[in-house]
């Protein structure tokens, strides 16, 4: 058992409930098991499997099963319990759970010493249409199958595929689709639609320059400063942000990556404990995309931040349950970020945002980070902090 500074365990076992089995939830679970043997963990998640959601663009190359880890395997590996259920969480519920130290899941009453809310963020959805795909579709079917099925139903020699949204998700899907079409020798036109002139606006300007140069080399059309209005059977409706003019362009398949909407964004103190109306709920913690910490640490909605927050609150839960109760503040700052541009290229930054890396070095960094997380799911923690 690894040593956790400032943690002197009490005599009794503690019960922890984790709501949400994404990156943050897994980081909490594995870290608790790393540092303590006197912890009983119940994971509540509506799915049957943990999904590495940030890798869905890779399903144009690999089967979706490569990104899934059944919770039944994790139950055996970490001696925990998974309940397949969804749980409504709101301010009133959180206050009640803090006071009662139990909650109801289905017909079962679960007692806890500590509760972790790690429900993630919800992707923005559009009106359902037969030729529109969102991230939710790729969670259930591999990208290669989805694309081939849709293009197989198009009676056009050179169909148009539109990708709406130029954040990391949209850009990664865009270049994976480009490479997939080339490998399959499918003749199709790709178009990127974005509300800004730049792509990857949340990253250093060098990302935009590199990606737009690559888009021109790949003959990918770019509709900048353009709002997506909707999709008909064969056309996409767009509005120019400057003129307000609405146009209809041919589009036989549209992929919407509109980002995340936060129905619930829980505020937490520097230690990860939820605060409601300036009152701390000392036994209720939060991590991941559904959380924002009042601390100098990174609140970026990324897998990297989710894992770091999850690991931190796991350590703080153990410290709070012990004799000293000296908690650790969240101070993590992202040390880099890499965006895939197909299987053989990438762009990213390392250590400082001015240190931009591309090509093989960027891919190598991404593979190292991904290996770290895969090892964490195996119970091997290689994170330095």
Domain match, 140 and 236 both: yes
Q: Which of 6-15, 98-107, 239-248, 309-318 has the lowest mean pLDDT?
A: 6-15
C-alpha distances out from residue 206 to 165, 220, 226, 348, Å: 18, 19, 22, 9
206 plus 292 within the same structural domain: no
Q: Is residue 5 part of a domain?
A: no
Instruction: Indicate the pTM of the whole model.
Output: 0.94
Domain region containing 288? 14-121+262-334
Same domain, 241 and 135: yes
173 in a domain, yes or no? yes
**What integer is the mean pLDDT of 353-369?**
93
- Residues contacting residue 152 through CB under 8 Å, at least 6 positions apart: none
Q: Which of these, 299, 291, 295, 288, lies nearest to 274 by C-alpha position? A: 291
Residue 27 lies in a domain: yes
**Residue 122 pLDDT grade (very low, low, confident, very high; cuts 50, 70, 90):** low
- 194 pLDDT exceeds 70? yes
Domain check: are 149 and 239 in the same one? yes
The rounded Cα 231 to chain-centroid distance in angstroms is 26
Q: Are residues 235 and 159 in the same domain?
A: yes
pLDDT at position 39 is 96
Same domain, 197 and 226: yes
- Tell me how many domains the chain contains: 3
Asked whether residue 339 is domain-assigned, the answer is: yes
The verdict on 147 and 241 lying in the same domain is yes
Do residue 289 and residue 206 come from a single domain? no
Residue 175's pLDDT band, with cuts at 50, 70 and 90, is very high
Distance, CA of 353 to CA of 356 (rounded, Å): 7
**CATH number of the CATH domain containing 240:** 3.50.50.60
């Amino acid at each position: 058992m690894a040593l956790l500074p400032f943690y002197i365990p009490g005599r009794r076992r503690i019960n922890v409930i984790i709501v949400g089995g994404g990156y943050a939830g897994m980081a909490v679970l594995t870290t608790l098991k790393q540092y303590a043997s006197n912890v009983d963990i119940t994971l509540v998640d509506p799915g049957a499997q943990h999904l590495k959601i940030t890798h869905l663009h890779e399903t144009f190359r690999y089967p979706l099963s490569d990104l899934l880890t059944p919770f039944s395997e994790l139950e055996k590996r970490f001696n925990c319990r998974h309940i397949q259920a969804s749980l409504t969480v709101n301010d009133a519920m959180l206050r009640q759970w803090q006071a009662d130290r139990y909650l109801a899941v289905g017909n079962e009453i679960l007692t806890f010493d500590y509760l972790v809310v790690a429900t993630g963020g919800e992707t923005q959805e559009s009106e359902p249409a037969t030729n529109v795909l969102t991230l939710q579709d790729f969670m259930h079917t591999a990208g290669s199958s989805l694309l081939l099925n849709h293009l197989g139903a198009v009676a056009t020699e050179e169909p148009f595929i539109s990708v709406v949204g130029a954040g990391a998700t949209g850009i990664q899907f865009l270049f994976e689709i480009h490479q997939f079409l080339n490998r399959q020798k499918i003749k199709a036109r790709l178009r990127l639609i974005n509300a800004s002139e730049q792509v990857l606006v949340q990253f250093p300007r060098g990302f935009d320059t590199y990606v737009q140069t690559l888009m021109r080399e790949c003959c990918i059309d770019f509709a900048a400063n353009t709002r997506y209005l909707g999709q008909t059977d064969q056309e996409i409706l767009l509005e120019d942000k400057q003129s307000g003019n609405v146009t209809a362009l041919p589009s036989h398949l549209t992929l919407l990556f509109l980002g995340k909407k936060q129905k619930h964004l829980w505020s937490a103190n520097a230690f990860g404990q939820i605060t409601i109306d300036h009152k701390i709920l000392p036994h209720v913690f939060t991590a991941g995309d559904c959380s924002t910490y009042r601390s100098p640490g990174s609140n970026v909605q990324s897998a990297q931040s989710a894992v770091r927050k999850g690991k931190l609150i796991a350590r703080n839960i153990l410290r709070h349950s012990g004799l000293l109760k000296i908690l650790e503040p969240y101070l993590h700052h992202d040390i880099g970020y890499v965006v895939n541009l197909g299987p053989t290229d990438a762009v990213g930054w390392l250590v400082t945002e001015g240190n931009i890396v591309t090509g093989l070095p960027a891919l190598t960094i991404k593979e190292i980070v991904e290996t770290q997380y895969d090892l964490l799911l195996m119970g091997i923690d290689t994170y330095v902090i």
